[in-house]
Structures are given as C-alpha cells and as structure tokens.
Structure 1
C-alpha cells in the first residue's frame, strides 16, 4: 500500500493503483482510489509527505500534458509502462542515496533521477539553485525510471530561461535534507549536487504523436482522452493516430487545442459515433437541441482529420418526436480540413457553423438540410449522397446555408458528385436558412464543375420559413449530369464571376493543398 498525507489527513492507495498515479498511466485515471487510512501499511510503499507551506505532491498529469509524458517515456526519463519487470539496484546499508541526473524538461519542469528506488520520498530534500540563489518550487510528482529508480518531477513557480544553460550561468540541484531513504534505510547524501542539463531540444525532436486503440497497445483507449493530452494553446501539430474500431463517445476539440491532427487507420472502419438528437431529453432537464446533438465538436484552429468516419447513429424511426435533427460534426474554427473522411447521418448531418473548412475526397450523406450553417467551406472532389426518405415528390435538401451578408462567400462545391438512391427529381440543391429569422443570413452556395444526378429537382432551389430562395446567393457553373438543367430558377455564374470562386478566396487566403505540400503530405 502507498500512503499519502494531505491537509492533515492520511490517504491509503493500493500498490497497483499507486503505480498508475505516480507513473502517469491513464489506466486508473477514472477511478477514485483513496480512502482514509485506518490500519497497517506493508513494506512496499512510497511515503510522500508535504506539510503546511511545503510542496504539494500531485499526479504527473497535473503538472505536465499527456503528450509531454509520452515524450519523457520515449526519451527514457520515465518508465513506459506499469508492467515493467525491471528490478532496481539494491544497495546494502551504508550507501548514501545520490542524484543520477538532473534535467530541465521544459518551461518550469525539472526531472531529478536518483540512483535507486526509494521507499520514502521527501521532495523538500532537494533544492534548486541559480548562481547560489534558491529557485522556488511549488509542486512535485513522483515517477519511475526505466531502470526502476525513483524520479521526482518538480514544478518551479516560474519558468527557466534557456540562456541560463549557456555562458557562465550555474544552475544546479543540491541535496539539502536527508529525510528520504531506500529499502535499507540509506539516506540522502547531504551536500550532493549536480549540474542541471537542458534536454528541451531533444524532447522537441521527438514527434508529437499520440495513439488510440480500442483493444491493442496504445497511449489511450478513447479519442477524447488523447485530445485531452494535447497541451493547451499548443503551437505545433500533434498527430493522433486512431486504430480501426467503433469509438462511441462524444468528442470535443476545444478552442485552446489548436493544431490537432486526427488520422484514422482507414475511413470505413475507424468510426467516431454517438446518438444524441435535438428532441432528446437532457439529464438536467430540457432537450439537447440541434447544436447540442453533435457527436463531434471542432473548435480548434488548424485542425486536420483524415481516414475517419464521423457518425450520428440516431435512428429517426426509433422515437416519435418532432425534432429529429442529429448532427455528426459541428465545426466552428479557422483552417479546419477533413480529408478522405465520411459523415453519416440523416437530418443536419454536417453543421459548418462558422469559420473556414475544407473537405477533400470525402463522403457526406443525409436527407434534410444535411450540410448547413454560416461557415465558409469548400467541398472538393466529394461525394454528396442524398438518402431516400420514401417520398415520390420531396426527399430533402442538400444544403441550408445561413451565410451572413457581410461574408462574400459561403459554400463552394468543386468537382464533386451529387448522388442518391431516391427517385428522380425529388431532391433540392438547397434552401435559405435564416436562424431565428435573421434577415442578414443571405445564404451563399455555388455548385461548380460538378456532377448532378437525376434526383435533383429541375427547379433546383426552394424557399424556407417564408424566405425566398430567389433572394439568396445560389448559383451554378458548368455542372453536368441529368440534374444539371439550366432554367430561370437555376442562376449560372458568368466566366468572369466564376473566376472569383477559388479555394483561396472562399477560405480567406488559406490554401490547404499548399500547407500539405510544405508538410510533405499530399492531398
């Protein structure tokens, strides 16, 4: 058992669970494993005591991100797993405990690796000095090295400057107390000191990669757990590879998690799904509503998803309610790309709320308004599939754009295909959505150089909630196929007008293809 003492109370943690807490393993992170200590402890313990005004002992995840923890494991500073069979060196009585290495691992974090496994650890035994001046420390956490030795991670109250490790600056760790001890009660070597080494460049050189798997070995078993491991306000792309499987979970990429790249094993078999819908009662009262029904929310800028299926699996026939909107993906951020991905749902499958989105070689299916919202989005080389609702006259609407009049561009469908198993001439290209009756939501949709199947109604567009499609910015240009008829309701762009509808213009100057070429990736 492992004993903690916090705020005057002792807590008891089982030895298996303690390893998970101290090593940063995610396996036990969702369990409450502490209880008041009322009895004995065994010999296999690490006692971590912090007194009033002393250091706070916390889990590793509380002082560093999951991505950083993985890098520390890859680099060999922390053990990679809780099933390690490594037996640390055991020192007979009379051998003082010393520091093996001291490393600055970024920002305010310092890792101190000791030369053995300790039975009792008192974080205040070690102090940090810059040219003889004490560096204040606020928190610490305890882990294990690949050799089975004790590692203490310290968090300073402020960040270190890389310039400290050049020139004549002296930054070191020093043993100032001798409370900690190993199994044979060998104590810290008083006065032992070691110069701090800067390993931040080496850590930065390790790829920003996290893995997810339902069954096999991986960093995380859920997509959301991997996203949570990305540092807040991250500045570099973090790739999260997801093995094939069905991940039934709600996923949110928050605004403070930019540069997230989700890469599935393959689009058909790597599925993120959930089954909320607009009229579904919420546990706290009320209903989810359309916005609250999404399976996946993407707020973070510079987001990429590829080789994935995003699904809302709500069965419209399963309940008798009016509000059956069920969103698979909700987007609200800048420079968000979806490549070789699938979007599965019925009504309101894809909600491009605002921002700029790029969909390439992807498949989107639904029936009523299944691509909707006020964002600026390009759909290039995509298959847009309208489901058959069983009607002989109206099987739905592909788009329901709510583009504000202040935005010159809305949706651009480029070199795409509109397909369906619905009867001929029973699906509209779209209708104008004015949220809450907003008169400034003058939708903008252009279908360009695309195949339109026979399911498209010759009129093309229709009204919505009293607003006329003729007042919206609905246009076509050089489409082909049985549904690509030209009449007074199907306004066509001139060659000069069509030149303005480029990927860069619609996406506010962003060209996702160029970015991928720079990253040695090909769309």
Structure 2
C-alpha cells in the first residue's frame, strides 16, 4: 500500500505543496501519543487523501481521446464501444412491447454481450426472480419516472431452494446482478418478506449487486432485513430511496451514495449499514453524501460486520432515529481500533456527536475530500452521462 509519504518528481509546484501538507499530517499522526486506533485512523486518512490526489493527477495525464469526439476523455474503451452501439428492447405486460417479462427480455441477450442493451420496462408490477448473469454486461433497466415499474418477490434466506437446501442471504435476492456495467433508472426493487424481531433466517434481499461499475438513478429498494446487498465492486447510487430495518445496506462494495433517502422501519434497535471490509488492504467502503436518514426505532449508522468496516457520512441530515452512540462494533471491542467510521458536516438532531463512541471520527475538510466525489469510485472513467 502506498502512503502519504510517497514522493513523485513529476508533481507540479501546487501538487508538491499539497503533498507536503499530507506529509505533515502523516508525521503528526505517527508522532501522536494518543490511542492506537487514532494513530491507525490518521495514517489511513493520510493515505486516502494522497491517493485521491495521485489518482486525480494520473487520470488527467493518462486518459485518451475518443475517436471522432474531440475533448471527450475515455479510459474504459469497452464501455465506450458498448455505448456507441446501444439498442433498445421494450418490456410490457400488456403485450404491446417486445417481451412481456423482464426475464424473457434478458434471455434474448446473447452471452458475452458487448453492446449496451436498454430494456425499457413499462409501468406495472413484475413478480419475477431475476438474475443478470456474469456474462451479460452492459444491461440497463429503464423505467418511467412518473410511474416506475416494480420488480417484486418474497424469498428469504430460510426458503428451501433447488436441491432441498436453504437459499441463504445471497440467493434470496429478488433481483441479482452478477454482470458488470449494469445501470438501472426509475425502477423499484422490492422484497415483501416480513421481519419479526429475534427471528432467524429472515434475511430478504431486494437487490444484490455483485458486478462492478454499476449505477442506479432514481431507484427504490424496499425490504425489511438486508434490503440492499452491496456485495462487491464499484457502485454509484443517486437520488435513491432505500428502506429496511436490520443491516439494510450491507456488503463489501466500494460505493458512493448521493442524495439518497435512507428510511428505517425497525421496531426496536437496528443498524443502517453492515459494511464487511475484512482486511486493511481491501479498497472497499460506503460513502454517503447529501443524504437523509429518517424512520422509526433506534438506528446505528453502521455496525462492523467486518473487522475493518469503513463507512463515511457527509452533509447528511440525521433525524432523531439515529442512536446517540452512532456506531456499533457488533459486540467485538477489538474492532474499535480497526474500523473507520467518519462523519463530516452532517446536520439534524441525530448528528449531535456528544454521545458518539470514541472510535468514531469527525473528519476535517482535507480528510473528507477523498469521499466527496465520484472519483472515490473511479467514476470519472465509467459513469454514463444521462
């Protein structure tokens, strides 16, 4: 892993000044006599700040020009080619489209697809269990913004699947996306299975996203326990509504959530996120920016599913539903020195930090910077322009 103390002879004077500032942070951090968890956090933040600057500079130098499109920066050529040859197919339950179900439309796409396929899904309730397989990249679900289609199911982790074994959380998803470059716009993903406090096997995923470079705009994710399985990869969520009770956003993903509404329906105490970063070298974590937290019960911002769980909230309104402690180590105090939980310029009664756990950190302007833009998920090279 690189550190904030790495030097580069190719940096401009301005970049060199910024790098020296990072060096100061690094030195102050290493020399600090405070607790070990604070030292670890500061070293990690310093690395993130410098890594952000280094990657930003590198992308500016290495991006190529797309043929015939002056000034357009392109790094991901596979994506650019797919967008240049996109096609549309229509899904409508009344038979006026190309297909009546989303599954039928997906089955029409050839394996190892290399072009953007936009499935225009007409309004309606689609009771389907859907999987976008790994070899089916570049698929878009496009709904109507005034009347978004709903894809719904009610499987849980304890439901018996093929072979007589339980589905478990991974296979409980109403919609599972294993492919890369997936996009959904104006779609509601739902799992209606109920959750009773204290019951086991009731994980009921509305959507699991396991492919990388996926984006969701104006989508809703409705469920109770484990609603959105942000499994792995680079992901972007904009203007989305996400509702649940227990760990309703969870996984290993490296994801940016902007302008999202996060709503709790827990009856007692639960957690909004369960981010499973299992070692310090994993480049994963959830960043929430300009979002809103509301709902019922008492809600932790996150609990440490993994020993190195990483979650950041910035510019987010937190209603009274947020527990004063803010964060949970899932009953394992050893994780207090390893997790990276940060807050930056949040507001609302739930953002009062008086009762926060001592191992959560209020970030400075510089420390928060790496998590505030799409560069956090390398989005400048792959996010589609709508």
Select which of 201, 218, 221 maps to 1:343: 221
Select which of 327, 345, 368 maps to 1:478: 345
Matched, 1:498 2:368: yes
Cα separation, 2, equivalents of 1:464 and 1:316: 20
- Decide whether aligned partners of structure 1 residues 328 and 468 sit closer, same or farther in structure 2, where only a CA change above 3 A counts: farther
Task: For 1:309-320, list aligned pairs within 5 A.
Answer: 309-316=188-195
> Cα RMSD (Å) of the superposition?
2.3
Matched, 1:386 2:255: no
Which residue pairs with 1:462 in the alignment? 328
Query: TM-score, normalising length from structure 1?
Result: 0.54
Cα separation, 1, equivalents of 2:352 and 2:85: 55
Cα separation, 2, equivalents of 1:445 and 1:268: 33
Cα separation, 2, equivalents of 1:410 and 1:338: 17
Cα separation, 2, equivalents of 1:457 and 1:301: 36
Matched, 1:357 2:224: no
1:322 positional shift: 1.7
- Structure 1 gap segments, 5+ residues each: 1-203, 435-440
CA contact (8 A) 1:253 1:300 kept: yes
CA contact (8 A) 2:190 2:223 kept: yes
1:206 positional shift: 8.3
1:216 positional shift: 3.5
Cα separation, 2, equivalents of 1:476 and 1:503: 15
CA contact (8 A) 1:303 1:335 kept: yes
Query: TM-score, normalising length from structure 2?
Result: 0.73
Q: 1:131-190, CA deviations, whole angstroms, 9 ceiling, x for partnerless residues?
A: xxxxxxxxxxxxxxxxxxxxxxxxxxxxxxxxxxxxxxxxxxxxxxxxxxxxxxxxxxxx
- Decide whether aligned partners of structure 1 residues 269 and 239 sit closer, same or farther in structure 2, where only a CA change above 3 A counts: closer
CA contact (8 A) 2:213 2:383 kept: no
CA contact (8 A) 1:267 1:340 kept: no
Task: Please state whether the residue corresponding to 2:232 is helix, strand or coil.
Answer: strand
Count residues in correspondence. 299
- Decide whether aligned partners of structure 1 residues 482 and 224 sit closer, same or farther in structure 2, where only a CA change above 3 A counts: same
Q: Which has the higher helix share?
A: 2
Which residue pairs with 1:86 in the alignment? none
Q: 1:106-155, CA deviations, whole angstroms, 9 ceiling, x for partnerless residues?
A: xxxxxxxxxxxxxxxxxxxxxxxxxxxxxxxxxxxxxxxxxxxxxxxxxx
Task: For 1:64-213, list aligned pairs within 5 A.
Answer: 208-213=87-92
Cα separation, 1, equivalents of 2:146 and 2:200: 32
Task: Please state whether the residue corresponding to 2:362 is helix, strand or coil.
Answer: coil
1:467 positional shift: 5.3
Matched, 1:516 2:384: yes
CA contact (8 A) 2:140 2:182 kept: yes
